[in-house]
Amino acid sequence: MGLIATVHAVEILRWERLPLAVPLVVDEERVVFIDRNVRIGVPDSVGPHLRVQSAGGAIYLRASEPIPPSRLQLQDVESGALILLDIAAEPAKPGQPALEPVRIVDGDGGALPRAAAAANTSENESEPRDAARASSRRATPVSVVLTRYAAQNLYAPLRTVEPLAGIGRANLRRPLALDTLLPTLPVHAQAMAAWRLEDHWVTAVKLTNTSARPVVLDPRALQGDFIAATFQHPTLGPVGQSADTTVVYLVTRGHGLAPSLLPKVAPIDAAVNLPPAAAAGQTEAGGPP
């Protein structure tokens, strides 16, 4: 039996600093390929009527009802560069074919460029020295800059996120065990995202209260080798409430979060590592081995 390959046409849109028109049909999903990690800004008036999903360099748009001409903002999380999409959704017409997927490329037909600082590194040998001089002149500590940038990416509206030269999204090991991060508090910790600037990393970790009582977050309870730690909120509400979750921003130097965490000690390891006197005490209390 022969196999028949199905070929789907793709509409190519060239980004030349002018808004790109992406028409939509109500109740029909349209895919936009951009091959970049982007954040998507949607106007408040459009949000309830437009489902927006992003995965693996593709954006999925589906309108639930007609939408007047509106503008979406796509922001590269590495460089901060913006791409503008003008959308409008109309009901499907009888016999109208499905809209083709869209691929966004640079104006010359190639892939969209990376951040300018990264692209020029190999072309200009003086750039590392320039970056070092810029770093020495920076008035704000790198840890503060990174923490502020991470908080803006997670909590602030897209239009307020300030582009930051030299910062890039860092790989995050998954799954990352965080049982030893706050061992004395009834919270569940989960790493969300990480960014790097120079030799510093910041990792955003979501904290969720697992108890029925409020929890006060004290930086002194954090276990690990961190340059800085900042909580988005100082307390957690009881589990099940809207305030039971927050984020802590952990800044490390020379590496990401994983090497800065304390190793988890298994119960058998703890027993083996007990001092001889303590081990003898356990034997006497428990009877002959």
Condensed to tens digits (0 to 9), the pLDDT of residues 241-261 reads: 888 999 999 999 999 999 999
The domains of the chain, with CATH numbers, are 11-91+98-106 (2.60.40.1080), 144-260 (no CATH)
Q: Indicate the pTM of the whole model.
A: 0.50
The pLDDT of residue 113: 47
The pLDDT of residue 37: 77
Joined tokens for residue 220: 């002194």
pLDDT tens, residue by residue, 12-68: 888 888 899 999 999 999 999 887 778 888 888 888 899 988 877 788 999 999 999
pLDDT tens, residue by residue, 98-153: 888 998 887 654 445 443 333 333 333 344 444 444 444 456 788 888 998 888 88
The pLDDT of residue 30: 93
Secondary element (H or E) of residue 229:
strand 228-231
